[in-house]
Amino acid sequence: MLKRLVRPLVPPPVLHAWRRYTAARIDRRFSGSTPAEVFATVYREGLWGATADGEYCSGTGSHEDAIVRPYLAGVRAFLAEFPGLSVGVDLGCGDFHVGSQLVGSFREFIAVDVVPELIERNAREFRHPHTSFRCIDIVGEELPRADVAFLRQVLQHLSNAQVVAVVPKLYQYRWLVVTEHLPSSLSFQANRDKPIGPGVRERFGSGLVLTAPPFNLRASEQRQLCTVACSAGTIQTIAYRMASQRPASNGK
């Protein structure tokens, strides 16, 4: 309660600097940790927030109506253009609050996360005859086959080296729907590196862009589905029609 009362009184530059410092300190804490260790801690300690009943929470980006509603509208309208898409996979499904609302668009839906306890909880809470839950590290393990893969505010928490490891695996999908937190300025420097952790690149004026170096994702078509302004920057969703063949050496 005290934080809510004090926050409006703090000058925006001071508040932004404090957020940058806090996020950087938290990211340094996870140096050398595996994705499973990092995100298990993030959920256990509520670093992305917590629900009233103390359940797992993937943060305001997965629960704030002003962010989730436009995303679902844009993605559903996009999927409706392609009725032949039968399998969807949510890579980094988190608490599955958003992914659970896309299940009906597919004949089969696969939800993936790296935290075993979170996957077990999701399997109990979101029972559906055509939905399965799998504990997979998208950086180090093989990804499930599907027509459409969703990466919703997932890659932004990884280091550049980890994203580079994921990108070649994405060419198996017909469509890739990626959501990232980006700075408001259109002239930001893309893909500045960061350690794995709950924070994102926006805090130092950067954002993750898969088609830019060092990731160099190649797509035969790119469609912007949704852009939502938030308290710090924008949240942008882009659908990539993947190239028919994976390029050698990650597009180089």
Give pLDDT tens digits for 111-128: 999 999 999 999 999 998
C-alpha span between 20 and 29 (Å, rounded): 14
Overall number of domains in the chain: 1
CATH number at 122 reads 3.40.50.150
Highest mean pLDDT among 9-23, 191-205, 215-229: 215-229
pTM here is: 0.88
Report pLDDT for 252.
Answer: 42
Q: Which residue type occupies 9?
A: L
Confidence of residue 174 (pLDDT cuts 50, 70, 90): very high
Q: If you average pLDDT over residues 22-31, what whole number do you get? A: 75
Domain of 164 in residue numbering reads as 2-251
Percent of the chain residues topping a pLDDT of 70: 86
Count other Cβ atoms within 10 Å, centred on residue 79. 21
**CA 105 to chain CA centroid, nearest Å:** 20
In angstroms, how far is CA 248 from the centroid of its own chain? 26
pLDDT of residue 217 exceeding 50, the answer is yes
Collapsing DSSP to helix, strand or coil, 90 comes out as strand
Q: CA distances (Å), 63 to each of 15, 39, 71, 240, in order?
A: 23, 18, 11, 25
**CA angle (175 as vertex; 169, 180 as ends), nearest 5:** 80
